[in-house]
A and B are shown apart, each in its own frame.
Chain A
């Protein structure tokens, strides 16, 4: 069966520090991969999605970047965190077909202080 791992679960970082969140998927190949952010009491905002290695699409201009160095690995990064980067970050995968549901990890709660 397929599983998705996302870490760390919580993270407290000072403003201006770098960020690296990692997500890996097991049990499937060539998945679509996604990074979402959820602000407190708000909906899910799509940040990045990827349909293959090295193929990243950005949905919103921001202080973050994403990379997909391997088929089942998706990394969210920032060189310098802002206070507004605080939130709940969720990685998800779906099969490479249009109506496949999203499968989410358990998220990373990021607090920028």
Chain B
């Protein structure tokens, strides 16, 4: 069956460290994968998109990797700050123009 998993429900790290979040999928062949940030009581906000032929994508302190062999994407936040605390969702293109979301990882950056 098709499945998307994110490594942990919650992740606590110290301010200034690098946060690494994992997204694994089974029985999908996405042409691209996206990462979103969701704050409590709000809709998700798009962060980054990476295509299947791209190994890595960067945007300021954010970095995303995409390994279609491992069926995995890693999302890194370097020099993390308390303001980075939120739930992070991966989403992959399922068929056509549909997106399927992972359950999310709640990141807490501790001062």
Contact = CB atoms under 8 A, between A and B. Distances in A.
Please determine whether chains A and B interact with each other in the same assembly. yes
B97 A104 contact: no
B51 interface: yes
Nearest to A34: B99
Contacts, number: 58
A27 interface: no
B93 A98 contact: yes
Interface string A99-113: 101111111010000
Interface stretch (B12-20, B60-68, B70-78, B101-109): B101-109
Contact of A106 (B42, B91, B93): B42
Interface residues of A, number: 25
Interface string A46-83: 10010100000001000000000000000000000000
Bin chain B's interface residue count.
Answer: 20 to 34
Contacts of B45: 104
Contact of A102 (B32, B44, B103, B104): B44
B44 A104 contact: yes
A96 B96 CA distance: 11
A32 interface: yes
A49 to B, nearest CB: 6
A32 B43 CA distance: 17
A66 B28 CA distance: 27
A101 B91 CA distance: 10
A11 interface: no
A91 B28 CA distance: 24
B89 to A, nearest CB: 7
B97 A98 contact: yes
Contacts of B104: 43
